[in-house]
Amino acid sequence: MNQDEMKKAAGWAALEYVERDTIVGVGTGSTVNHFIDALGSIKGDIEGAVSSSEESTRRLKEYGIPVFDLNTVDQLSVYVDGADEINDHMQMIKGGGAALTREKIIAAVAEKFVCIADQSKLVKLLGEFPLPVEVVPMARSYVARQLVKLGGDPVYREGVITDNGNIILDVHNFNVVNACELERQINGIVGVVTNGFFAERSADSLLLATPDGVKKINNK
């Protein structure tokens, strides 16, 4: 099984968490694209979706799945999304696709966060994948200097503007001892919209695709 086949297996396995006649939270990325294909196959059974990016919205609409504004939705039973890294505590780094802020908002609303990933995403320690930080454009240099003080090496992601009109700094070389603490510290820098640690709000379940099948791991 190649990596994309594993992503597909994880994406389709997440259908198990989708309840009939509900609105489903949908993340962003190549693994989620398989989940959207899976949702398309049962579109008559769900009320619709809330989406974490313009790209996922476009794909959902192609299937004829109604996409709701999150402000009109007061309850979301499940949010399904991928990750760039996930550890044993179900803490993640996300934002490789620059959709981290909307992803974090939907994850906060959802009762259950189901992470779908191939086995390459499971790590012992977070931080080899550079941490994406969404920043208001005028604060870019200031935020970069503050990130250096926290021990990171920020790199401006050239040519990328988020769906919210902001820029991304990818921070290399963080020594991640306490992801929750670092998540809070970075979010405390003026000009930061949010950062790609999903440590405070970790996943509730992980569907981890391996060549032997999809393993279901629940957060303790």
Q: Looking at the annotation, which residues are catalytic?
A: 103
Residues 6+ apart with CB under 8 A from 203: 83, 86, 90, 92, 113, 114, 115, 219
Give least dist CB 28 to ligand 5RP, A.
Answer: 4
- Considering only residues 40 to 59 of the shown chain, the ones binding ligand 5RP according to CB under 6 A are none
Q: Which of 17, 26, 28, 176 is the binder for ligand 5RP (CB under 6 A)?
A: 28
Answer yes or no whether residue 85 interacts with ligand 5RP by CB under 6 A: no
Q: Is 94 exposed, middle or buried (0-12, 13-18, 19+ CB in 10 A)?
A: buried
Answer yes or no whether residue 31 interacts with ligand 5RP by CB under 6 A: yes
Task: State whether residue 38 is helix, strand or coil.
Answer: helix
What is d(CA 214, CA 208) in angstroms, rounded to the nearest whole number?
Answer: 5
Q: Which of 25, 27, 130, 154 is the binder for ligand 5RP (CB under 6 A)?
A: 27
Is the Cβ–Cβ distance between 65 and 57 less than 8 Å?
Answer: no
Interaction pattern, residues 103-122, with ligand 5RP; x per rule: CB under 6 A: x-------------------
Give least dist CB 130 to ligand 5RP, A.
Answer: 12
At 130, give phi and psi (nearest 5°): -60, 135
Give least dist CB 83 to ligand 5RP, A.
Answer: 6
Part in contact with ligand 5RP (CB under 6 A); list of ranges 28-36, 54-62, 143-151, 158-166: 28-36
Rounded to 5°, angle at Cα 76 from 43 and 12 = 45
What is d(CA 110, CA 113) in angstroms, rounded to the nearest whole number?
Answer: 7
Answer yes or no whether residue 97 interacts with ligand 5RP by CB under 6 A: yes
Q: Which of 100, 106, 144, 214 is the binder for ligand 5RP (CB under 6 A)?
A: 100
Interface with ligand 5RP (CB under 6 A): 27-31, 81-84, 94-100, 103
